[in-house]
Amino acid sequence: MDAEDCEPYTDVFFIKFSQVSNARFAKRKLDESVFLGNRLQVTYAPHFESLLDTKEKLEVRRKEVLGRIKSSAGRPEGTSQYSLAQGSSSGNHHQMNFNKREYLKTNHASHIEDPRFSHVPSNKVRGKND
């Protein structure tokens, strides 16, 4: 992606996932990991997201939240899904490191008409020099 601002000798790849959960997983597993001697940085690119992409992503999120509310409604009052042992020693177990929960792109229907981007199956890698 030549249009992206990046440091010299840095390659930028655009990956659009079919589901937000897949993007979250990739962010969690790949961000700041080392690949071929270089540190990977996974970021969310909202400027490549269409209005329909955003609408679909928010609808999926709404359904997830409603599902969690319904599942917690069946528990007796005063009980929690999380035990104190799961929290951090500093007591900030409710602050689940939201900085690491950034979204990547979702691919419900590719609406980007930019010729620089093409659909690539997940088992293939495509760079800016391809």
pLDDT in tens, 7-63: 777 778 788 888 888 888 888 888 888 888 888 888 888 888 889 988 988 998 999
Is 46 part of any domain?
Answer: yes
123 in a domain, yes or no? no
Pairing relationship of beta strands 38-39 and 34-35 according to DSSP bridges:
antiparallel
Model pLDDT, residue 107: 38
Q: Residue 77: inside a domain, yes or no?
A: no
Answer whether 0.75 is exceeded by the pTM.
no
**Is 91 among the domain residues?**
no
Q: How many domains are there within the chain?
A: 1
> What's the CA gap between 70 and 73, in Å, rounded?
5
Specify the pLDDT at position 2: 54
Residue with token string 């690491």 = 100
Containing domain of residue 105, as a range?
14-57+98-109
Q: What pLDDT shows up at residue 44?
A: 81
- What pLDDT score does 34 carry? 85
pLDDT (0 to 100) of residue 89: 44
Kindly state whether residue 73 falls inside one of the protein's structural domains: no
Q: What is the pLDDT of residue 29?
A: 87
The pLDDT tens digits for 67-118 are 999 988 877 665 555 544 444 444 443 333 333 344 333 333 344 455 555 6
**Domain contains 6:** no
Residue 30 lies in a domain: yes
Burial letters 47-78, b for 16+ CB under 10 A, else e? eebeeebeebbeeeeeeeeeeeeeeeeeeeee
84 within domain boundaries:
no
Q: Which pLDDT score is estimated for 63?
A: 92
What does the pLDDT read at residue 94? 37
